[in-house]
Amino acid sequence: MMIEDRPYPHEIREVWWAAIGRSDLTSDEKNHIMDIVIYAQPPLSIATLTKASAVYEADIDACDNEKLIDKLKKSSAISHASPKHIGTNFPIFYALTHPKQLNQQSNALATQSRLFMSDFFKEVELTHLISRGNFYHHVLAARDIIKLVINANYPEKPQDTPFANYVLMAVKSDALYAQRTLQVKDKMDVFTMLVDGELSPGEKTRDYHGGGRSSEPKRLTKHDPWHDKHLSRLAKSPPPPRRLMREAPDMSNTTLDADPEAHAMGVRSAPDKKRKDLEEATEHITLQRTTPSSLTPRDDRMLTRRFTLAAPTTTLIANTDISRLTPEHVHAVLRLPLEALTHTFAALLLSTGIPARRLMQLVVSEHLQAVISDRRDERPHWCPDPGVLCYRLLDGPSVRHSNPASSWVQLRLPAAFATVLNEHATSQPAQRPFSGARGRLNQLLRRHFRKHPGILPTANRLSATSWLYRRPHAVDDVAATTLSGQFGLALSAPAAYRQLPRGEIQQLLNDTLEDVGVTERAAAARCDAGSACLPNQGSQMGSAVAQPPDAFVAIFEEIRDAMRTPKSEISRWYHGMPFPLHALVTLYQLVAAQELLAWQLSTGARPIGDSSENRMGDKMQWVHDKNSARGIESRVIPLLKETRDSLRSLHRWTILLTHLASQEGIVIHDQRTAVRDTPAWLHPSKQAQQLVLRDMTWSDVSSLALPGLPDWPINVARHSLASRLRQRVSDAEVDALLGHARHGRMLSSPRAEASIGEQPRLRRALQAWLRECGYRPLNWRCMPWHY
């Protein structure tokens, strides 16, 4: 009997019944085989029946089916090999038996999902609306939605909750919010219609309009229960009393409305009606005509230009400054009789600088570890158990698999704020705490400050004013901006290289709260700069690459210890003995690795690659360490005396080695390009008694068997130096050293007023950092063959 591609369940049963009917099985054995076929819907083969039998034994009946399968092997009507394209033609069998789908034996929820899938898709109503392709897509939609819930480790299903309702509740929860992509939403709609009975397995979705068929799928009408209750309440309430308006309201608040020419043209300034309840009307001005006209686009541009010239300010900086509130406005806002939740919302905007739109998305989460493991979640989270507000940095530091928590800000709030959020989470667990808080706050501020002189406070302006309160208490701009959760284009690169103590960020929040007048600040938990605020989360955030100076001490010690053996072997050599070629190469590589590591740690330059160039003087050096599609970068930075003298001694020692080796018949191919003053690299050639001397790169250092260094990223020295200097020198000096076009332009640009090299504080900090890392210049007088 031939069977079509993607057979229906009843067709699979008919094929199996016809095949086992010709076997010598008893009637009970045949019925048992058919029970397995009905449950798993396998293709007609012994291999697939074996897999289906294993799933059936685990889910339904734990009996031994090997003897029955051995009897079927003698039948010529059943193939022994598995057919091709099982996942496409037999989706139920593939979902129930494949280990990457629902065949997870150690998961109790997977067992329930297999029972649900087998029972739900075991029958198909054969009508003209049924198609094999739709049946296949319906199975895939249900399978993927269920698998999403299983892999998310959602809390266990209550016993009195149907399985389908449990899956829908899990997918629509906040725990799986970040995974609800457009494709997942489409599959969730299909699964919902299947469960609700609005769509049967394999049924085509049709929508009829006026006697003709439409190819668009039928969309369900969505209802908002709160909106329906609100409309019912409005219908029962009496209309507001009417007032007699004796004077027309004054609508000419802007310069454009007062312009007689614009009024004659029918052009007026219209406030943004969509966001009227969120922001002040004067923040967004839209120019529009009341009636169409025959004017050209050039007339519109001239009109807009005239309106702009008549505006109070014409520069972007002035517009930014004008959006910040004065201290009097801030204290007046905090003194208002706000409800507890709205007051908490306003205080967090002012103390952290989080955008109001993002803070409104705050959700309550039970498990902190599950929150920080999601790299795509942009919502703030409140965890009541540890009492922590956490949100992810949207840019800046890169996320590493080994430390995902480094990109999450974790703050303990004052006791009053925590109590308000916990009470809301207990009373209304399904609602977000700050849902609609911006509209309520703006409405109250507009009502109170409408007749006051000066700028009108809004939620966005409170968030913008936060910088004026955060920055005086912060070590640098990166720490101050960390509280806002996003650095922007100017600070993303500097923030990527800096590692911040969590205790410092917590103390910054405490000081800012005290500055704005929040008296409950003392109830906030304190964290020391060197300890972790939260258990198992580490005491540092930001850069996950930076290392403390102690990590480099072991590397320098290992290099010095490894030098002793080849150094002793070379010292014992004299003319007439076999030349110690291997010892010479080993010693030279160790010396070059030490000097290059010291140079990278003292300059913060990007790891030396094939396109890098540098030139060293007495006190300054020129570094060209970026030549990519994003840009070309070079700069002049300070040069320490220790590294300068060591590199010059290494160059002199290299000349002596090459001269002595050539006298002993050793051929050295000098492939240096003379574009770098950093160390060279010596390694054996493919031919015997020949060496190659070329420019050294950072990958050569990583090739040595040094403890810990091969496992670190290549820019570990740059990250570590930036994190170290942020508390010892100014932002401008750090940016100029690393090549960031921000504050560093004040020191390194061609028109800078500062003199080149006059940075004694930076030099002292670099020298102290290099000593703490364990670098000690070599005693070149004790080196072999150094005259």
* Residue where a domain terminates, one of 513, 542, 571: 542
Residue 142 lies in a domain: yes
Query: What is the mean predicted confidence (pLDDT) over 629-645?
Result: 87
Query: What is the mean predicted confidence (pLDDT) over 614-627?
Result: 91
Tally of structural domains, the chain: 3
- Higher per-residue pLDDT: 465 or 787: 465
* Residue where a domain terminates, one of 511, 542, 573: 542
Residue given tokens 């139920």 in the structure block: 92
Q: How do residues 74-108 score in pLDDT, each as one tens digit?
A: 766 677 777 778 888 888 888 888 888 887 777 77
Burial 605-626 (b: 16+ CB within 10 A, else e): bbbbeeebbbebeeeebebbbb
> CB of 587 within 8 A of CB of 567?
yes
| pLDDT of 634 over the 70 cut | yes
Burial of 264 (0-12, 13-18, 19+ CB in 10 A): exposed
**Banded model confidence at residue 2, pLDDT cuts 50, 70, 90:** very low
**Banded model confidence at residue 787, pLDDT cuts 50, 70, 90:** low
Burial of 68 (0-12, 13-18, 19+ CB in 10 A): buried
* Residue 249 parent element (H or E): none
Q: What is the pLDDT of residue 182?
A: 76
Identity of the amino acid at 59: D
- Residue 531 has which token pair? 């300890």
Q: Taking the CA of residue 602 as centre, how many other CA atoms within 13 Å lie in the half-sphere pointing to its CB?
A: 28
Which 3 state secondary structure label does DSSP give 679?
Answer: coil
Beta bridge partner(s), residue 288: 268
Identify whether residues 614 and 664 lie together within a single domain.
yes
**Banded model confidence at residue 183, pLDDT cuts 50, 70, 90:** confident
Q: Which of 10-14, 345-349, 491-495, 709-713 has the lowest mean pLDDT?
A: 709-713
**Banded model confidence at residue 760, pLDDT cuts 50, 70, 90:** confident
Q: How far out from the chain centre does Cα 592 lie?
A: 38
Q: What is the pLDDT of residue 776?
A: 94
A 10 A CB-CB count for 280 gives 19
Q: What is the pLDDT of residue 374?
A: 75
Identify whether residues 449 and 563 lie together within a single domain.
no
Residue 366 lies in a domain: yes
Instruction: State the Cα–Cα distance between residues 53 and 97, nearest whole angstrom.
Output: 10
- Residue 528 has which token pair? 């020391």
Instruction: State the Cα–Cα distance between residues 271 and 281, nearest whole angstrom.
Output: 5
Helix spans in 41-162 (H): 46-59, 66-72, 86-89, 91-97, 108-120, 132-151
Q: Taking the CA of residue 370 as centre, how many other CA atoms within 13 Å lie in the half-sphere pointing to its CB?
A: 16
Q: What is the pLDDT of residue 77?
A: 64
CA distances from 735 to 277, 284, 448, 546, 641 (A): 42, 36, 45, 17, 22
- Higher per-residue pLDDT: 450 or 215: 450
- Residue 683 has which token pair? 């390694």
Identify whether residues 534 and 570 lie together within a single domain.
no
Residue 218 lies in a domain: no
Q: What is the pLDDT of residue 531?
A: 38
Max mean pLDDT among 368-372, 536-540, 650-654, 706-710 falls in 650-654
Query: What is the mean predicted confidence (pLDDT) over 695-704?
Result: 90
Reported residue count of the chain is 787
Identify the CA nearest to 600 among candidates 658, 656, 552: 552
Q: What is the pLDDT of residue 263?
A: 58
Q: What percent of the chain has pLDDT over 90?
A: 32
Instruction: State the Cα–Cα distance between residues 547 and 528, nearest whole angstrom.
Output: 19
> CB of 299 within 8 A of CB of 261?
no
Identify whether residues 440 and 571 lie together within a single domain.
no
Q: What is the pLDDT of residue 71?
A: 75
- Residue 403 has which token pair? 């430390």
A 10 A CB-CB count for 686 gives 6
Q: What is the pLDDT of residue 399?
A: 72
Q: What is the pLDDT of residue 3?
A: 53
Identify whether residues 686 and 624 lie together within a single domain.
yes
Instruction: State the Cα–Cα distance between residues 242 and 158, nearest whole angstrom.
Output: 54
Identify whether residues 404 and 485 lie together within a single domain.
yes
Identify whether residues 585 and 638 lie together within a single domain.
yes
Identify the CA nearest to 443 among candidates 230, 659, 278, 651: 278
Instruction: State the Cα–Cα distance between residues 68 and 60, nearest whole angstrom.
Output: 17
Q: What is the pLDDT of residue 624?
A: 92
Please spell the DSSP secondary structure of 278-326, one letter per residue. TS-GGGSEEEEESS-----HHHHHHHHHHHHHTSS--SHHHHHHHTSPP
CA distances from 250 to 169, 247, 258, 529, 675 (A): 52, 9, 11, 57, 73
- Residue 117 has which token pair? 């899938």
Identify whether residues 591 and 716 lie together within a single domain.
yes
Q: What is the pLDDT of residue 472?
A: 93
Q: What is the pLDDT of residue 294?
A: 57
Q: How do residues 10-64 score in pLDDT, each as one tens digit?
A: 888 888 888 777 777 787 888 888 888 888 888 888 888 888 888 888 878 767 6
* Residue where a domain terminates, one of 542, 569, 596: 542
Identify whether residues 537 and 586 lie together within a single domain.
no
Residue 271 lies in a domain: no
Residue 655 lies in a domain: yes
Q: What is the pLDDT of residue 686?
A: 81
Q: How do residues 269-279 score in pLDDT, each as one tens digit?
A: 555 444 444 44
Instruction: State the Cα–Cα distance between residues 351 and 506, nearest whole angstrom.
Output: 11
Q: What is the pLDDT of residue 290?
A: 54
Query: What is the mean predicted confidence (pLDDT) over 589-609?
Result: 94
The residue range of the domain holding 374 is 327-542
Q: How do residues 131-172 score in pLDDT, each as one tens digit?
A: 888 888 888 888 888 888 887 777 777 777 788 888 888 877
Query: What is the mean predicted confidence (pLDDT) over 327-356?
Result: 92
Which 3 state secondary structure label does DSSP give 579?
Answer: coil
What is the overall mean pLDDT for the chain? 80
Query: What is the mean predicted confidence (pLDDT) over 569-575?
Result: 85
**Banded model confidence at residue 319, pLDDT cuts 50, 70, 90:** very low
**Torsion over CA: 23, 25, 30, 33 (sign):** negative
CA distances from 441 to 348, 418, 545 (A): 13, 20, 41
Identify the CA nearest to 625 among candidates 552, 695, 591, 676: 676
Q: What is the pLDDT of residue 481?
A: 93
Residue 507 lies in a domain: yes
Residue 523 lies in a domain: yes
Instruction: State the Cα–Cα distance between residues 636 and 755, nearest whole angstrom.
Output: 12
Q: How do residues 431-457 score in pLDDT, each as one tens digit?
A: 889 999 999 999 999 999 988 888 889
Q: What is the pLDDT of residue 316?
A: 43
Q: How do residues 536-557 score in pLDDT, each as one tens digit?
A: 456 889 888 899 999 999 999 9
> CB of 354 within 8 A of CB of 409?
no
Beta bridge partner(s), residue 390: 381, 410
> CB of 696 within 8 A of CB of 682?
no
Q: Taking the CA of residue 32 as centre, how many other CA atoms within 13 Å lie in the half-sphere pointing to its CB?
A: 18
Burial of 429 (0-12, 13-18, 19+ CB in 10 A): exposed
Q: What is the pLDDT of residue 168?
A: 80
Query: What is the mean predicted confidence (pLDDT) over 225-242?
Result: 73
Identity of the amino acid at 521: R
- Residue 118 has which token pair? 């087998």
- Residue 293 has which token pair? 């006209």
Q: What is the pLDDT of residue 167?
A: 82
Identify whether residues 553 and 420 lie together within a single domain.
no
Max mean pLDDT among 3-7, 110-114, 382-386 falls in 382-386
Residue 573 lies in a domain: yes
Q: What is the pLDDT of residue 538?
A: 61
Q: What is the DSSP letter of 213?
A: E
Q: What is the DSSP letter of 785?
A: T
Identify whether residues 486 and 556 lie together within a single domain.
no
Instruction: State the Cα–Cα distance between residues 235 and 404, nearest whole angstrom.
Output: 52
Query: What is the mean predicted confidence (pLDDT) over 319-335?
Result: 78
| pLDDT of 73 over the 80 cut | no
| pLDDT of 259 over the 60 cut | no
Identify whether residues 570 and 676 lie together within a single domain.
yes
Burial 637-666 (b: 16+ CB within 10 A, else e): bbbbebbbebbebbeebbeebbebbeeeeb
> CB of 750 within 8 A of CB of 622?
no
